[in-house]
Amino acid sequence: MKRRQFVKSALLTGAMAGITSAQSIASMKKKNNPQEYYELRIYTLKNNAQLKLTENYFEQALIPALNRLGINNIGVFTEQLAQEFTKLFAVIPFTTVEDYMHLDEKLATDSAYLAAAAPYLDAPATAPAYERIQSSLLKAFAQMPQIQVPEKKDRIFELRRYESSSEVNSKKKIEMFNDAGEIRIFKRTGLTPVFFGETVIGEARPNLTYMLTFDNMEAHDLNWKTFINDPEWKKVSSQPEYANERILSNIRRTFLVPAKCSQV
């Protein structure tokens, strides 16, 4: 009886050790390559005074404070081809949702941030720093779990949002990027991605949003043409389950240029 109990105990201990080891490995992999979250902010501005005040806020207050918290690679952009006055776009990466949720609390205890941000935070209603902020929370794709910062030089960015008619169709488009190899084809054909994200909180859901970068509009047109004519892409996109008319209801794109303070 004692021998049977000993064997049972040994087997249980070994099994638990195996589970713990597997969990540790999984945890390590997740820690080494986590799927980030992105806050995508869009500031609506009506004049140059608002643009200057908001850009100064990012440059002198918010970005330094985020960097002190270990949050890096913040992108700040303005529209290249503005339809109205302009909008300012910001992409802020977070390692976890908790980091995003507790950001305001941490900023509220940062005296250097509060001092530098005062002109922006204390702007009166008669002369606000901006008209409104539209904010979305995105979760990075599995096949591109972290933001990729391009080489620092003159370049343009293309922000694209793919809207779907249902959650199922949106997941199918994400599957196309992740599992059917679309991200890999992007990179091979010169479409340089910065991030891919599924919108978990925000307007016009269900949708996914991603950003590409190019040296200029000539490179943009050439690289998209190369992608569209790629044999592997044609094979993937010809599958009925991935047809645009089946899984997409709208595509929005915006061309952006980085602000002076942008880390992307």
Q: How does DSSP classify residue 213?
A: E
Domain presence at residue 28:
no
Q: pLDDT tens across 199-245, in order?
A: 999 999 999 999 999 999 999 999 999 999 999 999 999 999 999 99
Q: pLDDT tens across 77-106, in order?
A: 999 876 667 899 999 999 999 999 999 999
- Indicate the average pLDDT of the chain: 90
CATH of residue 122: 3.30.70.100
Domain presence at residue 165:
yes
Domain presence at residue 121:
yes
Domain presence at residue 242:
yes
Boundaries of domain holding 182: 37-258
Domain presence at residue 20:
no
- Give the three-class secondary structure for 88: strand
Looking at residue 238, what is its pLDDT? 96
Give percent helix, percent strand, percent coil of the chain, each to the nearest 5.
45, 25, 30
Domain presence at residue 142:
yes
Span 24-49, average pLDDT? 78
Q: Sorting pLDDT into bands at 50, 70 and 90, what band is 9?
A: very low
Domain presence at residue 19:
no
Domain presence at residue 14:
no
Q: pLDDT tens across 103-146, in order?
A: 999 999 999 999 999 999 999 999 999 999 999 999 999 999 99
Structural domain count of the chain: 1
Is the separation of the CB atoms in 170 and 206 below 8 Å? Answer: yes
- Give the three-class secondary structure for 196: strand
What pTM value is reported for the model? 0.85
